[in-house]
Amino acid sequence: MTDLLWVIPALPFLGFLVLVFAGSRLSTSAVAAVGVGSVGLSAVLTLVLGAGFLSSPPPDGALRVTIAEWMSAGGFDVRFGLYLDALAMVMLFVVTFVGSWIHLYASEYMRTDPGYARFFAYMNLFVAAMLVLVLADSLPLLFLGWEGVGVCSYLLIGFWYQDDANARAAVKAFQVTRVGDAAMAVGLLLLFAHLGTLDIQPLLAAATAEWEIGTVAASIAALLLLGGAVGKSAQLPLQTWLPDAMAGPTPVSALIHAATMVTAGVYLIARMHPLFLLAPEVQVLVGIVGALTLLIAGFSALAQTDLKRILAYSTISQIGYMFVALGVGSWHAAIFHLFTHAFFKALLFLGAGAIINAVHHEQNIHRMGGLRTELPLVFWTFLIGGASLAGLPLVTAGFFSKDLILWGAFSAPIPAGNVLWAAGLLGSFLTGLYTFRMIFVVFFGAAHGHVHERPGVRMRTTLLVLAAFAVVAGYLETPHLLGHITVFSHFLASAVPVVEASEAVLASEPLALAVAVMVSLAALAAAWFLFLERRALADAIAESGVGRAVGRFWLSGFGFDRLYHWLFVAPFTVLAERNRSDVVDVLYGAIAAISRGLHYVLRTSQTGRLRWYAASVGVGAVILLMLLIRP
């Protein structure tokens, strides 16, 4: 098995190199074969590796492969080493399997784009960087993959860089996530200074052995890593980049939201969970950040009219659920929701891409309508993805994973547990409301345009496969009342703690499950009433004075962009205008002026007259002798 491990990230990287150096000379079919095939082969190898991992588990639950030494200076030794345990195995499957279907879809979706080879080169590098991130056995190598996905997100969000808005969105994503990355880098330095290593497993063992619960150093380190996580996973207060990231092609949105970048923060906290267990206040803060984010994103999604921005805010909200699970110590619930979310969110974005292509690249949902008869396959698969996002009871993967998070918050032995559970329930209602608003407005009612293009075989196949997983993936982990299947948590138990509720707490599970089911159904009913049955009522509410004000506030994402503009961008712009000549350059300007002055003085001595030179040498010699013989 170890022989296959390094090949999995190497294949997409090799595809990137081929497309960079030879892509312009390859046909469209050859580019697609390299771009899709390299990730597809990685997915096949992942399945082979996973089968071997399940049939013959490693003795200590993990595989380690050292490829080469990266750097060695004093006591700082870093290797190119890979580490595969159950947690990394889940992430490996999500990245390669979902990523390969997104690539297949993109091979048709982007077929007429002049930057076809460049697009797949960036996509392959994106997947390779994410695989390095999840397989790294040291924090520097993880950080290399971390920065790699950041660079690729910049390249892909700004893929159509000829449009200034796209270029600005790419720069914004890069700059906002850099804030979190800087915090994370400081956290790594702090960990090395205190523990003497950045190899993940030895570091976690040393932290557990040397630090007690509540140690200041552990809390600061965990807080700094949380800073990195909220940047990559678009959580408060660094969530503003993700809605604008919709400027990239739709397959990019699917890859960022479902399989790669935004899940990196969740993975980081889960991987470093022993450190967060040593900092309980920071761990609770993780849950609070997630709860606030999921609510703000849920309300914001309700006011959006752009189809992709609705899905972007839904991603921010769903990642918030994962942070809630991490905050209450339900590690397996966070990863399970990450797992199911990958399928239904990729399905929704790719379905949105098919819709947008079909209606002349229109993204405003109010200019669509009646598409369920024009695009029946897209409608049914999108409905499955939306139902899973909304947690429609019993028949969708999203219900089982979201309910596991809600149950984890409800049964958590911490004071904030009930508050986080209540926030999760409200978020669940909002999710159902904005999801079915989107479905009813886009697919029902009167048509506002003509469908001029329908998805081809590759796009339809991708939608069908992801729709199937958006239904069946949830049955890997079910509540006690529904069979108590624990396949997922049992597999993950060797990598992260799986805490079972006590018998006394389990007695309240039926009530908690019933409440979650009723909230989901109530959201569906409310969406049907407001956006299908009584659409005029919803419009009247939105057009009222209060409705307009609230709608504008939600549409702006609670005004965070404006706030950050006035706090950071505007002062910097004013300072730059006032300091147009740049005060820093005064020192260097003075050095240059002195050099020019000395040059002028010395230049006057160069007259070209031989007698002047001889006289100068004579006078200089006399002065030197006088200085030497003076008593």
**Average pLDDT, 10 consecutive residues per value, the chain (631 residues):** 85 96 93 96 95 88 88 79 95 96 96 94 96 95 95 94 92 94 96 93 95 95 97 95 93 89 95 96 96 97 95 96 96 96 96 93 90 94 96 92 95 89 96 96 84 90 97 94 91 90 82 94 95 88 90 94 92 86 80 89 78 84 82 56
- Say how far apart CA 262 and CA 254 lie, in whole Å: 11
Which contiguous run of DSSP H or E holds residue 366? Answer: none
- 207 HSE (CA, 13 A, CB side): 31
Burial code (b: 16+ CB inside 10 Å, e: under 16) for 141-175 equals bbbbbbbbbbebbbbbbbbeeeeeebbebbebbbe
Q: Are 211 and 217 in contact (CB under 8 A)?
A: yes
Q: With H, G, I as helix, E, B as strand and everything else as coil, classify residue 452.
A: coil
How high is the pLDDT of residue 631? 56
CB count, 10 Å around CB of 112?
8
- Say how far apart CA 7 and CA 261 lie, in whole Å: 21
How high is the pLDDT of residue 584? 78
> Cα–chain-centroid distance for residue 432?
23
Domain boundaries, the chain: 581-629
Write the single-letter amino acid at 587: L
Q: Are 345 and 258 in contact (CB under 8 A)?
A: yes
- 548 HSE (CA, 13 A, CB side): 3
- Say how far apart CA 511 and CA 519 lie, in whole Å: 12
| Sequence-separated (6 or more) residues with CB below 8 Å from residue 88 | 134, 135, 495
pTM of the predicted model over 0.95: no
For the CA atoms of the chain, what is the radius of gyration? 29
Which contiguous run of DSSP H or E holds residue 423? Answer: helix 417-443
- Say how far apart CA 486 and CA 421 lie, in whole Å: 22
| Sign of the dihedral through C-alpha 243, 244, 249, 255 | negative
Q: Are 123 and 106 in contact (CB under 8 A)?
A: yes
